Amino acid sequence: MAIFSLLNSASIILAQTWTATSLPSTEYLRVASSADGMTLLAGTYDGPVYQSTNAGSSWTALDIPLPPPTYFARSNWYGLASSADGNTIAAVAFSGPICVSTNAGVSWSETNIDDPFQGMACSADGRRLLAVAAHQAYPPLPPPPSSGIYLSADGGNTWTPANAPNIMWFSVACSADGTTILAGASSLGPSVYVSTNSGATWNPTSLPSAAYACTACSADGTRMIAGSFSPGGVFTSTDTGATWTRAALTNLDYFAVASSADGSKLAAAAHGGPIYRSLDSGLTWTPTDAPYTNWYAIASSADGNALVAASMDGNGGTYLGLVYTWQSLPSPRLNLAPSTGNLVLSWTLPSRKFALQQNWDFTTSNWTDVTTPPVLNLKSLQNEVTIPAASGSMFYRLISR
């Protein structure tokens, strides 16, 4: 009889220390992160999009194409999204165009759709992209014949208006495969909608009417979070938006929320207040040591142990527009499941390097690295290693590198 054992490390106390990056003080509108938290993006108001490939240690400005400015400045980056590996980047300014890079920002293609865009989302493989706009809120721009939600299933080569309600869309998020979509809007009626078929049809949720400026969801799309302007608040769902629970948080405006791949680790950034974290899918919340400022954007790594957040300057110079990063030591949990005569070891892609090791006798020090490289499952954002279901005993562990 084969015996396989997984040795998982105990939970590590969170450091909860935020560090300001070297980026200049200005108005930051959006941030995005790759699944491992190494590639970060920060979009500014009437300025560049900055990119970091080393978790925020250093930054460069991306050379994104911009058409001549119109009524609204075209470099107000309200939409940013990244694929899991950071190679596909989607960026959209307030009134367009939608720009996509498939080589980590080296070159760009653009689709010149004019609309007051407010947000973007991207599947883990970078093939499915979404952009939402609030064209009803800005009369100087004539509303196009669209609901304000745009879909691409081919990495941004072509875009199709979604068959969704024509309301003022402010935020969008999607599952790792792009099948489940969560979109927030400002409306006197239903303000948050869910699609479970890649945007073909949309269902209103039971959330109260408000201006939902931020949304996020787990990799499988079952766990969701939505934040709105006061007095709306922050709401969480564990059943793909069928039911919602209001978070016990300070009654402030929430412009930014984020979720880990499994939906257990959530973050909510209050405008003029703290950044909160939850480790139990929103049941309880704890404020971090982030400064009280005009938080406007936040993004998470797949494991939820690396965050990037950005603020806008304001309040008479009291608040500085800066980009901050936060990191705690991951403690990934190993899972084991049968698969057609084999066994699959899996763990959420960590925000630091870990090695999978094996040992016939866990009481000895004879641990060796498993030579089979892990493969990232783009639907779950889990590293997977397939091993033969052989006879005998074997112990497995993950060790930080």
Task: Write the pLDDT tens digit of every residue in 282-320.
Answer: 999 999 999 999 999 999 999 999 999 999 987 656 678
Q: Are residues 337 and 321 part of one domain? A: no
Span 174-194, mean pLDDT?
96
Asked if the model's pLDDT at residue 101 lies above 70, the reply is yes
Q: Are residues 206 and 292 part of one domain? A: yes
Q: Are residues 368 and 247 part of one domain? A: no
Q: Are residues 338 and 296 part of one domain? A: no
Average of per-residue pLDDT values in the chain: 90
Q: Are residues 363 and 312 part of one domain? A: no
Which of 327, 344, 369 delimits the end of a domain?
327
Span 121-149, mean pLDDT?
81
Q: Are residues 214 and 352 part of one domain? A: no
Which of 279, 302, 327 delimits the end of a domain?
327
CATH of the domain at 311: 2.130.10.10
Q: Are residues 215 and 131 part of one domain? A: yes
82, part of any domain: yes
Looking at the structure of the chain, the number of domains it has is: 2
- pLDDT for 113: 83
CATH of the domain at 369: 2.60.40
Asked if the model's pLDDT at residue 74 lies above 80, the reply is no
Please write the tens of the pLDDT for every residue from 16-38: 589 999 999 999 999 999 999 99
- pLDDT for 13: 43
- pLDDT for 223: 98
Between the two ends of the chain, the Cα-to-Cα distance in Å is 33
pLDDT band for 1, please (50, 70, 90 cuts).
Answer: very low
| pTM, to two decimals | 0.93
- pLDDT for 393: 81
Q: How far apart are CA 170 and CA 133, in angstroms?
A: 6
Please report, as a single letter, which amino acid is at residue 400: S
For the chain, the residue count is 401
- pLDDT for 244: 98
12, part of any domain: no
382-400 as b/e, with b when 16 or more CB fall inside 10 Å? Answer: bbbbebeeeeeebbbbbee
Q: Are residues 186 and 335 part of one domain? A: no
7, burial (CB in 10 Å: exposed 0-12, middle 13-18, buried 19+): middle
What number of other Cβ atoms are within 10 A of residue 331's Cβ? 16
User: Residue 167 is encoded by which pair of tokens?
Assistant: 């309301």
Q: Are residues 259 and 388 part of one domain? A: no
Q: How far apart are CA 184 and CA 146, in angstroms?
A: 16
32, part of any domain: yes
- Dihedral of alpha carbons 131, 132, 136, 139, sign: negative
pLDDT band for 9, please (50, 70, 90 cuts).
Answer: very low
Q: Are residues 237 and 300 part of one domain? A: yes
Asked if the model's pLDDT at residue 10 lies above 50, the reply is no
Parent domain of 211: 18-327
Asked if the model's pLDDT at residue 4 lies above 70, the reply is no
List beta partners, residue 281. Answer: none
- pLDDT for 198: 98
pLDDT band for 12, please (50, 70, 90 cuts).
Answer: very low
Span 332-337, mean pLDDT?
93
31, part of any domain: yes
Q: Are residues 352 and 308 part of one domain? A: no
Q: Are residues 371 and 257 part of one domain? A: no
Q: Where are the beta strands (DSSP E) in 15-76?
A: 18-20, 28-33, 40-44, 49-52, 60-61
Which of 281, 306, 327 delimits the end of a domain?
327
